[in-house]
Amino acid sequence: MLVAMVTKDYLKSPVCREEFNLALAKHSQKNRDLTLIPIFLDEDVQDIPLEFKQIKLVNAVGKSFKSAIESTADAIVSYFNKESTKNTKEIFAKSSEKNIDIVQEDLRAFQLSKPYPDKSRKPYTDFPPDLDSFFLRDSKRLKPANEINNIVLSFSSNDKKYAKFFYGLMKYFAPSLPVVEEAASAQEMRHLLDNATKIVTFVSPNYIESHDCIEDFNIALCRHRTEKNPVIFPIQIHSLPKKPSYFHTVYYHVSTADAVWSSLIMQSRVVINVAIQELNDIEYSLSEPDILALLFAARNLIDCFRKEDG
């Protein structure tokens, strides 16, 4: 059992978020061996992240604190004493039995539906319609230089076409951002990983089979857990094998495996902006769903470097 005491600081902590996602993955299994009980304590939090809304939150904010804590504690004691009460039934109710990958995909689809609702997609013959908002060409709109070091790409050589296309998108939309496409040596890569502001990992079955890539990922994850600002920016390329399981506990900003990208092309019949299509060199030959996925991954990464008023 994991009781998560959710506060503003908890939500800001990469370690706590990772711990929560791991617990959520176990909690959501059909024959779960762990129960997750999130208790919400902080009334200063205006926007609860979507992954925290996948299971029942115990509201212990303000005047509700004493009664919520007491009833939750009583329910936990009753549960271990194998006693059935109203509180135990509510808190220990069966989950939706979604695995963590489906939960993440649902969250990403929801995030995309906010700026591009389903009913408004069909007319799009120049998608995305707000492409101008992707650009960050004015250095005055960037965060201060002392907050930006290199952005490093970590990928398997078998997935190089995804990284190269992503690199092209970054240089097209935000030419001032220092993106390192590829290190000249393993030693240089270690130095870059130790100092990068963001490490973009293209996690795929090929990536997971590579010792060098796993080392990159672990360095990024270690820094992500210990530094003030999030370091790792993971992108999922294709569906991942079940093991190692810790690759499923990080939140992927974008996954090319999500059904939404194919749905946009095949069902909504959106047409990708011609300028973006031209970046898809013959050398890459990425599918249209993959182009869309990486396009929005680039947008999400660029947004990390915008001034809040820019």
Could you tell me the pLDDT band of residue 18, with boundaries at 50, 70 and 90? confident
pLDDT of residue 189: 96
Q: How far apart are the first and last CA of the chain?
A: 43
* Distances 49 to 6, 12, 17, 28, 228 between C-alpha atoms, Å: 11, 11, 10, 17, 19
Higher per-residue confidence, 244 vs 97: 244
Q: What is the mean pLDDT of residues 259-266?
A: 92
DSSP per-residue string spanning 132-200: GGG----GGGBPPGGG---EEEE--GGGHHHHHHHHHHHHHH-TTS-EE---SSHHHHHHHHHH-SEEE
pLDDT of residue 80: 86
Is pLDDT above 50 for 310? no
pLDDT of residue 260: 94
201-210 pLDDT per residue, tens: 999 999 999 9
Is pLDDT above 60 for 95? no
